[in-house]
Chain A
Amino acid sequence: MFSDPMKNALILPALLFTTAASAAESPVPEKIEYNRDVRPILSDNCFYCHGNDPSHRKAKLRLDLRDEALLKEAFVPGKPEESELVARLFSDDEDELMPPAESHKKLTDTQKEILKRWVAQGAEYQQHWSYEKPVKATIPAGGNGVDVLVRQRLAEKGLKPSPEADRRTLVRRLYADLLGLPPKPAEVAAFVNDTAPDAYTKLVDEVLKSPHYGERMAIGWLDVVRFADTIGYHSDNPHNVWPYRDWVIKSFNTNKPFDRFTIEQLAGDLVEGANQETRVGSAFNRLLLTTQEGGAQAKDYEQRMLTDRVRAVGAAWMGQTTGCAQCHDHKFDPFSQRDFFSLGAFFADIQEPILGSRGDGMVVGTPEEEAQLAKLDAALAESKKVLAAVQPQIDAAQKAWETDVVSAKVELAELKKDSGASEAALKSAQQILGHLKQPVEKRNAQQKKQVTDYFLGVYEQFKAERDGLASAQKTRDAFYGPLAKCLVTVSTPQKRTVRILARGDWMDESGEEVKAALPHYLPQPKIEGRELTRLDLAQWLVTKDNPLTARTVVNRVWKQFFGIGLSKVLDDLGAQGETPPNPALLDWLACEFMDSGWDMRHLVRTIVTSETYRQTSLATPEQIAADPENRELARQSPFRLEAELVRDNALAIAGLLVPKIGGPSVKPYQPEGYWENLNFPTRIYPADTGESQYRRGLYTWWQRSFLHPSMVAFDAPSREECAAERNRSNIPQQALVLLNDPTYVEAARSFAAQILSECQGDTAERLAWAWQRALQRNPDATESKTLTALVEERLAAYRADTKAAEDLLKVGLAPVPEALDKAELAAWTHVARVLLNLHETITRA
């Protein structure tokens, strides 16, 4: 059912009422509960004008605080007939009616009735659920809190849990959710045949040990911190941050406690014992959008960067839509504009250019590499010293030479008669002569450099010193170039001044200056006598007193395993978000997560070992009628794989996947000209060759302004903003990608080659082999018949048209096995292609 019918009703009243009228108009509860029943109505319809933001408040009335509402006599508790609020809701007078017509808000009869009954029952308020500390329900020993709390709720609702999914589905589900890869047929068979009572938990433990677990878990986190390979704005040039992506993967694989994971990202430079690893984690602070546009104003972008960072912390850890408070106090939550800029002030110490290139960042080498670089840097410094010692003599010689040239005592070689110099050389020498004829102080920097370069070209002395430096520089640069580098956080005592900007206007410098401070409405740390730092912020986010962080994270992780959050608005646990239908479950998981020492693997294991998780996703018509969105969890839900995993799945089935972990981002095939509208500089896209072509989707080069089109088609976000939530669309472009993108055509022909070389049987046996490989089950008779017909038809066609077969087999860089018959391979490529395109193949059930 729709737990929040009014939101949808506002947008689409007619449709909802024809299709889901019963759900939208649930009966008015006997006992009204403020958080569950009243707050959503007030928040969505009233707080905009009668809430937290004073600048927009009408009639000086606020309804979000009981005392304030009473002061203005908005209602008389217990006496709806004497209450102004109730009278206004039911008024026939357009001037009296609330909400007013111009707000385009209209309450349903049920909603009005709820408010009336709420006043009748005393108009009690509750603190918003997510700002209270979560309370951990008591779970009987040996029970899984997930199951206990889900079952409790199901019993209340009169629903029954579903049976466990079949074993094949279970193992496929686990692989998809924990690794993002399909299991091999043998792995499925082993589990199906394992009769031990703990077969499933053994499987879970086995899967959790895989290094691909970290890759799978990283995807969601990289979305929420908006990790990408480019700066985002305007020219969208590259910036070096890929080691951070590997740091995230490694953090999940080593099960770094989430509190530590948090602290290293926000303050990896400030923690005790800061080292390369913690500093790479602090790249989080550098992932934001930046610009290299000429004419961009520093104050403008200083402001953009501050707000970008506040939104990021709000999204990733707090589940708060802080962005609203950039220009005014939040209209629905207690987050104020002061809170916004005070939170931004935590980042005022980050050393960085506001405009222009970010530079290379920190070298992230092995200890050996770093030692070698230090050695080469020392050698370079030494060579500079050696040259500096003789520099005065060289300068003197240049001065003398210049005088000689100007007085025509010396003639430039190119300008001598019959010098045989090329046109270009002649021209350049004439230019030098021109420069020389001007007094030194009149030459610009470029002209001076040209003169010096020319002189050094003809000057014979101190060659050893000069060549020594050139060679030391060259050696050092050659070694430095390929080393991994990462933008990291470096703190500077010269903090930027942070002001509250009226309406977010960066031109206005009259606003009050603020220091770093935590949102006023949340528990405060006891720190006195010094300014707060990013480290304080990080530690505060992961104290057990903070009611938001664990809930926010657990809610997001839950979505990975059920397709929807426990509170379905992942990026907003505030007033405009959704009170979870089962708040006890979210709270229990949040507490369990914190109590376990922020143990992510424990959290994941708790979820996936629950019976709730293991239920079948086949829904009965009754279940769908009772709970269309599956919010009560009386079953599992099927959903399409995420963009990266659609790719991984196809490459794995085809046997093409290179399972290497980490490294610089890679460039899969991409349509020519896709980057043609990039500029400064213009860019070509050189698709990778060799193993880099077959890496997992999460390593794809993330060009913010032109993300790879296959990724876009399957809803990968551009990561310009933090994305807690991905669309899960079903659009024609997805069909075009799976049918025609060379990546998938190549996968199909490679898969076909495997079918033919690995299975020597007849068509039926080969189809069974292929089905096992792609779906880990056998085809049934009709399925087999459909593709038998296809392969026979295709085989005949390609035998008659070998050119077409050859053309098809040329797609992609993977070699075509010589031993295979081309027509047969082309025909089976179609079989493979059909399998890779199936809904079942790209769905986790």
Chain B
Amino acid sequence: MRAFTDTEVSRRAFFSRASQGLGGVALASLLHPSLAGAASSGVLGKLPLPQRAKRVIWLSMAGGPSQLELFDHKPKLAEMDGQPMPESFTKGQQLAQLQGAKLICQGPQFAFRKFGKTRAELSELLPHIGSVADDICLVKSMTTEAINHDPAHMFMNTGSQIAGRPSMGSWITYGLGSVAEDLPGFVVLMSTGKGRSPQPVAARQWSSGFLPSKHQGVQLRSKGDPVLYLNNPPGVSPDRQKGDVAAINILNRQRDALVHDPEIATRIAQYEMAFQMQASVPDLVDLSGENAKTLERYGCVPGDGSFASNCLLARRLAERGTRFIQLYHRDWDHHSLLREELPLRAKEVDRACAALVTDLKERGLFEDTLIVWAGEFGRTPMMQGNKGPVGRDHHNKAMTIWLAGAGIRRGQVYGSTDELGYAAVENVATVHDLHATMLHQLGIEQAAFTFKFQGLDAKLTGVEGGKVLRDILT
């Protein structure tokens, strides 16, 4: 019989990455009765704020979609098409590929239509998202600090442009844990447009940084093992795998009786968890139980690895209690071929985004799921013509994102840009604000949600913190 208490179980945990508050985390998970790796409560315990969002589905449009074709209608820019961009807008500002080039206005390349009861203006390229316009909130005044893909992704995901900081999914599972019994709490799904050569997306975008490694995002893949190393080796049947895991755990338990190392109890729990995941993940990704109507609604063929399939998987993850679900759809970087390529990307995501909203609504999950649709930056009102047929350059002074569900006002347009769509001017919002708002909806007070790292109370919302965008909340 063991004479050791739960407190002792936590002892080893305190050795892990320093102490700097992290001990507390591991402690929290270890004291949880399930002792299971992924399903756990977070460090925050009782939340200071009402929890409107129980989970987040973050749709990352990697490459930076053009708000000027999709969301931010600028008739004045159309009038100025082909004329020099007034210097009053651009003087002394950082640009990416257009730095030093002659700056010419480029009007919207696609028409806009009014949708829903709220008569929200959206691109003709997004009729399905338009059909749920009354359910979503457009933020037209979003800004960011970075203008290159990699730093901008880092900033959007971690609130910092320095590599190695924890991503938002890690922060949130660290804080709240996950209710998914046998699935990771932070799942990443990736899809690529059928087109050109998309921008790379690094694994650091879902890294847990200095937070405990168990909070790192787990990529759910459409080819090969759905989770890395999930499948048994050839020749090893599930029964044999089970037998081996049992033997490992028996021997580990026996060792523990001798040396009383609490890490062994955790190790045993992790093997059980891993074995459970080997069954639950295939069940998760098996879409054969979804009816034809659902597949039609999303517009996906099971197993095709498309954004649409990933949206459907996102709903299945949401149903199972995964805390943070992040989808990337790549190839929005339209320096050129804007007219040719943008409609293709829009088509790839439009129907599935709307399907996700309506599906969650029908299943009663919309009310407590926060959906965010955002690129890593916006695009310039100036044309870029040095890479072939016209496009737009990276831009950090204005971008449009949208949010939905979980206490977000429906059918709202928040913030605006100047008449040429160059800079956000009304209700200017920052990435830190966006993070603060998300945390707020999750019941977390952003300024108090910290982790000691390199002497600082590090926060997702940065040193200065962000402000909650209260006007977009119900």
Partners in one complex: yes
Q: Tell me whether B473 is interfacial, beta carbon within 8 Å.
A: no
Instruction: Give the distance to chain A from B99, nearest Cβ to Cβ, in Å.
Output: 6
Complex Cα gap A234–B202 (Å): 8
Closest chain A residue to B97, Cβ basis: A295
Question: Could you tell me if A293 and B456 are in contact, using CB atoms closer than 8 angstroms?
Answer: no
Instruction: Give the distance to chain A from B74, nearest Cβ to Cβ, in Å.
Output: 23
Say whether, besides A790-B247, A834-B248, A568 and B259 are in contact (CB < 8 Å): no
Closest chain B residue to A681, Cβ basis: B197
Complex Cα gap A715–B215 (Å): 12
Question: Could you tell me if A786 and B19 are in contact, using CB atoms closer than 8 angstroms?
Answer: no
Option from B37, B163, B266, B445 in Cβ contact (under 8 Å) with A720 = B163
Over the window 75-112 of chain B, the binary record of Cβ atoms lying under 8 Å from chain A Cβ atoms (1 yes, 0 no) is: 00000000000000000111011010000000000000
Q: Tell me whether B373 is interfacial, beta carbon within 8 Å.
A: no
Q: Which residues of A contact B20 (CB under 8 A)?
A: 7, 569
Question: Could you tell me if B15 and A637 are in contact, using CB atoms closer than 8 angstroms?
Answer: yes
Instruction: Give the distance to chain A from B193, nearest Cβ to Cβ, in Å.
Output: 13
A-binding segment of B133-141, B206-214, B316-324, B415-423: B206-214
A-binding segment of B6-14, B116-124, B356-364, B400-408: B6-14
Q: Which residues of B contact A333 (CB under 8 A)?
A: 455
Question: Could you tell me if A735 and B330 are in contact, using CB atoms closer than 8 angstroms?
Answer: no
Question: Could you tell me if B243 and A793 are in contact, using CB atoms closer than 8 angstroms?
Answer: yes
Q: Which residues of A contact B289 (CB under 8 A)?
A: none
Q: Tell me whether A251 is interfacial, beta carbon within 8 Å.
A: no
Option from B148, B200, B254 in Cβ contact (under 8 Å) with A679 = B200
Q: Which residues of B contact A371 (CB under 8 A)?
A: none
List A636-659 residues whose CB lies under 8 Å from chain B.
637-640
Interface centre among B46, B202, B271, B457 (most CB of A within 10 A): B202
Over the window 804-840 of chain A, the binary record of Cβ atoms lying under 8 Å from chain B Cβ atoms (1 yes, 0 no) is: 1111111100000000000000100010011001111
Say whether, besides A295-B394, A677-B201, A732-B270, A15 and B27 are in contact (CB < 8 Å): yes
Q: Which residues of A contact B228 (CB under 8 A)?
A: 671, 674, 709, 733, 736
Complex Cα gap A12–B20 (Å): 12
Question: Could you tell me if B24 and A806 are in contact, using CB atoms closer than 8 angstroms?
Answer: no
Option from A232, A297, A786, A803 in Cβ contact (under 8 Å) with B96 = A297
Say whether, besides A624-B8, A677-B200, A728 and B455 are in contact (CB < 8 Å): no
Q: Tell me whether B149 is interfacial, beta carbon within 8 Å.
A: yes
Question: Could you tell me if B224 and A671 are in contact, using CB atoms closer than 8 angstroms?
Answer: yes
Q: Tell me whether B452 is interfacial, beta carbon within 8 Å.
A: yes
Complex Cα gap A678–B151 (Å): 15
Interface centre among A8, A102, A676, A803 (most CB of B within 10 A): A8
Question: Could you tell me if B231 and A728 are in contact, using CB atoms closer than 8 angstroms?
Answer: no
Question: Could you tell me if A678 and B270 are in contact, using CB atoms closer than 8 angstroms?
Answer: no
Question: Could you tell me if B221 and A673 are in contact, using CB atoms closer than 8 angstroms?
Answer: yes
Q: Which residues of A contact B45 (CB under 8 A)?
A: 12, 14-15
User: Number of residues in A with C-beta < 8 Å to the partner?
Assistant: 125
Closest chain A residue to B197, Cβ basis: A679
Of the four ranges (under 10, 10 to 19, 20 to 34, 35 or more), the interface on chain B belongs to 35 or more
Option from A324, A718, A740 in Cβ contact (under 8 Å) with B231 = A740
Question: Could you tell me if B15 and A728 are in contact, using CB atoms closer than 8 angstroms?
Answer: yes
Q: Tell me whether A507 is interfacial, beta carbon within 8 Å.
A: yes
Q: Tell me whether A592 is interfacial, beta carbon within 8 Å.
A: no
Closest chain A residue to B277, Cβ basis: A732
A-binding segment of B52-60, B234-242, B346-354: B234-242
Interface of A is mostly: loop
Option from A507, A576, A621, A805 in Cβ contact (under 8 Å) with B94 = A507
Over the window 703-735 of chain A, the binary record of Cβ atoms lying under 8 Å from chain B Cβ atoms (1 yes, 0 no) is: 011110110100101101101011111111111
Q: Tell me whether A78 is interfacial, beta carbon within 8 Å.
A: no
Question: Could you tell me if B200 and A678 are in contact, using CB atoms closer than 8 angstroms?
Answer: yes
List B433-472 residues whose CB lies under 8 Å from chain A.
445, 447-448, 450-452, 454-457, 463
Over the window 83-105 of chain A, the binary record of Cβ atoms lying under 8 Å from chain B Cβ atoms (1 yes, 0 no) is: 00000000000000000001010
Q: Tell me whether B47 is interfacial, beta carbon within 8 Å.
A: no
Q: Tell me whether A382 is interfacial, beta carbon within 8 Å.
A: no
Q: Which residues of A contact B1 (CB under 8 A)?
A: none
Q: Tell me whether B113 is interfacial, beta carbon within 8 Å.
A: no
Over the window 215-231 of chain B, the binary record of Cβ atoms lying under 8 Å from chain A Cβ atoms (1 yes, 0 no) is: 01010010111011111
Over the window 1-38 of chain B, the binary record of Cβ atoms lying under 8 Å from chain A Cβ atoms (1 yes, 0 no) is: 00110111011001111111101110110010000011
Say whether, besides A576-B455, A705-B203, A838-B252, A728 and B164 are in contact (CB < 8 Å): no
Question: Could you tell me if B28 and A12 are in contact, using CB atoms closer than 8 angstroms?
Answer: yes
Complex Cα gap A639–B227 (Å): 27
Option from A19, A323, A803 in Cβ contact (under 8 Å) with B31 = A19
Question: Could you tell me if B207 and A294 are in contact, using CB atoms closer than 8 angstroms?
Answer: no
Q: Tell me whether A300 is interfacial, beta carbon within 8 Å.
A: yes
Q: Tell me whether B128 is interfacial, beta carbon within 8 Å.
A: no
Option from A11, A14, A19, A803 in Cβ contact (under 8 Å) with B450 = A11
List A615-641 residues whose CB lies under 8 Å from chain B.
618-619, 621, 624, 628-630, 637-640
Q: Which residues of A contact B151 (CB under 8 A)?
A: 233
Complex Cα gap A235–B197 (Å): 12
Q: Tell me whether A216 is interfacial, beta carbon within 8 Å.
A: no
Question: Could you tell me if A839 and B252 are in contact, using CB atoms closer than 8 angstroms?
Answer: yes
Closest chain A residue to B455, Cβ basis: A576
Interface centre among A291, A726, A732, A736 (most CB of B within 10 A): A732
Say whether, besides A7-B21, A297-B96, A677-B190, A786 and B233 are in contact (CB < 8 Å): no
Question: Could you tell me if A507 and B92 are in contact, using CB atoms closer than 8 angstroms?
Answer: yes
Q: Which residues of A contact B11 (CB under 8 A)?
A: 624, 628-629
Q: Tell me whether A741 is interfacial, beta carbon within 8 Å.
A: yes
Q: Which residues of B contact A619 (CB under 8 A)?
A: 260
Q: Which residues of B contact A575 (CB under 8 A)?
A: 455
Additional A-B contact list (4), CB under 8 Å, known A628-B7, A735-B270, A843-B263: A296-B148, A297-B147, A621-B8, A740-B229
Query: Could you show 9 A-B contacts with beta carbons less than 8 Å apart?
Result: A324-B454, A569-B455, A574-B455, A721-B162, A727-B17, A732-B270, A739-B232, A739-B274, A808-B233
Q: Which residues in B have some Cβ–Cβ distance to A below 8 Å?
A: 3-4, 6-8, 10-11, 14-21, 23-25, 27-28, 31, 37-38, 43, 45-46, 92-94, 96-97, 99, 147-151, 162-164, 190, 197-204, 207, 212-214, 216, 218, 221, 223-225, 227-237, 240-241, 243-245, 247-248, 250-252, 254-255, 259-261, 263-264, 266-267, 270-271, 273-275, 277-278, 330, 335, 393-394, 445, 447-448, 450-452, 454-457, 463
